[in-house]
Chain A
């Protein structure tokens, strides 16, 4: 009896580590919710989250590197074997990486009592480990077509090192580089990674949807020059944002990043295919990136008119929606399903978009008394979005593939 229970349990655990997306997508969705509940409470007047130093840095770091890191790990460990036809990381090595991510979270949450050093070491170890796992196939296979991921990942690791350097009290001579600025840079780097990953995902999703609609005339093509111009502009913005933040110089480049991202949408205007849930979600990600950089540009050119809250269009909006879309798409496809178009999935996407808008827009328009309500509402919407994910897709991640294939 006991052994039977144990073996079922063991089976479940083995299944959880059968492929990278399973544990990391679950953790990502769960971790999207928990810190945001605490954080919304803090913004509404409860006690600050348990951390060392700047609570805003804690919030940003856990969203970008905690949630973002888990989502990134799940995506890379699943997509890289598919892109490059290499053996996936599963079983014990995967479990060890998951343990490292969990340990990094514990270290951040307990930093007030054990100091920041363990958090710094574990977070850098996790990212470095992840990069090491995917570096070889990304570099050598598929004629090096996916190397762009590696450059982005390396930059994200370096910025993480800089963030902890500043968090530990380090000071870069001549730069106003604080943990928060570093985390803003990290959000920008994630948008670049999103653009790279987005193009590969879209090629499959949009063309498949066109086919399903019976549209044989049109074909979606993610044109590299358009994407590269956007990546260049965003990268230039991130570089300038370090020495000359908030200046008109940086502002023009941010507006250029907006225009270059809107230019990518030229690939997307293919008629009614845009009304389909998954295509629309991926399309809106680009809009959120464009709006995010547009509002940053206006903020810089007007000397702070829109306020820094508009950066949530990039983080909550673009990152949040891109992560949820990838979690939803890969979660279904890699458990052997076709993409379902249910009200709960639609609602989860809509909730994230609304969460970003309620977080960013009222700060521009409403008197500050109402902004608190907007924060609360935004947190609620965000939690709803990822909560719906855990309810609808979560069980699939814990069950075997429906088509009986391994993984």
Chain B
């Protein structure tokens, strides 16, 4: 059991290491601002204008409401991908035959462009929550499936035999031998899948639903409101950045500690 002080120190150190990322993001804002100076606010509103529009959306409460709707859909699709994709992938990976048979299917599923899935989903689910959730799930399942399959395929036979030799029970073998190994494959895929869900959900919403960030973007497009468009983009990217660096990255570090040291 580590002291809470040490935990706090680690957390602060982690948060502080974000300044490098902040610096390069700010340099990107400068580049954006340069674009605004060159092409004018109609083509590319300045970062401050976009932030102002974002503030306005926030003040009206529109932002929180739509973000929640989008978040729900993205996470629902993502949850399906994580649970089904990972589970089925791990099972498939345990059998050489299943893995061989599944590989072309993964390639096919990954090859279908998300926009094609959206059209199908529209036909099947109409303008309901089902369309974005289905699209997210079907585009991200192959990623988690493939990664889990790869993880299960490459399980170290020696380690497995050693665990058996030490009479480790099935549960212990699962949590201490198989799981860390598979997780090291699956986790990066989850992160990629989450990023993908977040992008796909917005695209699906743009074409299908009356609410959500995608619908907000569609409205901004109709009104030729570039600033508001950028505000929505900022909201989407900002949420993703927060999720990635505040939530996923610490989990990833925690899970991968066994790789670097003895903890």
- Stretch binding the partner chain, chosen from B18-26, B97-105, B139-147, B237-245: B18-26
A266-B29 contact in complex given A248-B46, A248-B47, A248-B48, C-beta closer than 8 Å: no
Query: Is B17 in the interface zone, CB < 8 Å from A?
Result: yes
Query: Is B166 in the interface zone, CB < 8 Å from A?
Result: no
Query: Is A346 in the interface zone, CB < 8 Å from B?
Result: no
Query: Is A67 in the interface zone, CB < 8 Å from B?
Result: no
- What residue in chain A is nearest B12 (Cβ atoms)? A269
Q: What are 17 A-B residue pairs whose CB atoms fall within 8 Å in the complex?
A: A236-B27, A236-B30, A247-B33, A248-B33, A252-B27, A252-B30, A255-B26, A256-B29, A259-B20, A260-B20, A260-B23, A262-B19, A263-B22, A263-B23, A265-B16, A266-B20, A269-B12
CB distance from A229 to the nearest CB of B (A): 6
A226 / chain B contacts, CB cutoff of 8 Å: 20
Tell me the complex Cα distance, A291–B248, Å.
31
**Top 10 closest A-B pairs, CB basis?**
A256-B26, A259-B23, A263-B19, A252-B30, A260-B23, A259-B22, A263-B20, A262-B19, A249-B33, A252-B29
A253 touches B26 (CB 8 A): yes
Query: Is A155 in the interface zone, CB < 8 Å from B?
Result: no
B26 touches A249 (CB 8 A): no
- What residue in chain A is nearest B37 (Cβ atoms)? A249
Tell me the complex Cα distance, A247–B30, Å.
10
A269 touches B23 (CB 8 A): no
Chain B contact surface mostly: helix
Contact indicator per residue, chain A 188-228, by CB within 8 Å of chain B (1) or not (0): 00000000000000000000000000000000000000100
Contact indicator per residue, chain B 5-42, by CB within 8 Å of chain A (1) or not (0): 00000001100110110111011011001100100000
Query: Is A233 in the interface zone, CB < 8 Å from B?
Result: yes
Query: Is A242 in the interface zone, CB < 8 Å from B?
Result: no
A253 touches B27 (CB 8 A): yes
Query: Is A301 in the interface zone, CB < 8 Å from B?
Result: yes
Known: A249-B37, A260-B23. 14 other contacts (CB 8 A): A229-B20, A230-B23, A248-B33, A249-B33, A252-B26, A252-B27, A252-B47, A253-B27, A255-B26, A256-B29, A259-B26, A263-B19, A263-B20, A265-B16
A269 touches B13 (CB 8 A): yes
Residue among B26, B29, B33, B34 with max Cβ neighbours from chain A (10 Å): B26
Binding site for B on A (CB under 8 A): 226, 229-230, 233, 236, 244, 247-249, 252-253, 255-257, 259-260, 262-263, 265-266, 269, 301
A257 / chain B contacts, CB cutoff of 8 Å: 23
Tell me the complex Cα distance, A303–B23, Å.
21
Tell me the complex Cα distance, A242–B29, Å.
19
A247 / chain B contacts, CB cutoff of 8 Å: 33, 37
Tell me the complex Cα distance, A226–B16, Å.
13
- What residue in chain B is nearest A297 (Cβ atoms)? B26
A259 touches B19 (CB 8 A): yes
CB distance from A241 to the nearest CB of B (A): 12
Tell me the complex Cα distance, A252–B32, Å.
10
B19 / chain A contacts, CB cutoff of 8 Å: 259-260, 262-263, 265-266
Tell me the complex Cα distance, A229–B24, Å.
9
Q: Give the residue of A230, A244, A256, A266 whose beta carbon is less than 8 angstroms from that of B16.
A: A266
Residue among B12, B17, B30, B46 with max Cβ neighbours from chain A (10 Å): B30
A252 / chain B contacts, CB cutoff of 8 Å: 26-27, 29-30, 33, 47
CB distance from A326 to the nearest CB of B (A): 25
Tell me the complex Cα distance, A233–B22, Å.
12
B37 / chain A contacts, CB cutoff of 8 Å: 244, 247, 249
Tell me the complex Cα distance, A236–B33, Å.
14
- What residue in chain B is nearest A225 (Cβ atoms)? B20
Q: Give the residue of A230, A253, A265 whose beta carbon is less than 8 angstroms from that of B30.
A: A253
A249-B34 contact in complex given A226-B20, A229-B20, C-beta closer than 8 Å: yes
CB distance from B164 to the nearest CB of A (A): 39
A230 / chain B contacts, CB cutoff of 8 Å: 23
CB distance from B34 to the nearest CB of A (A): 6
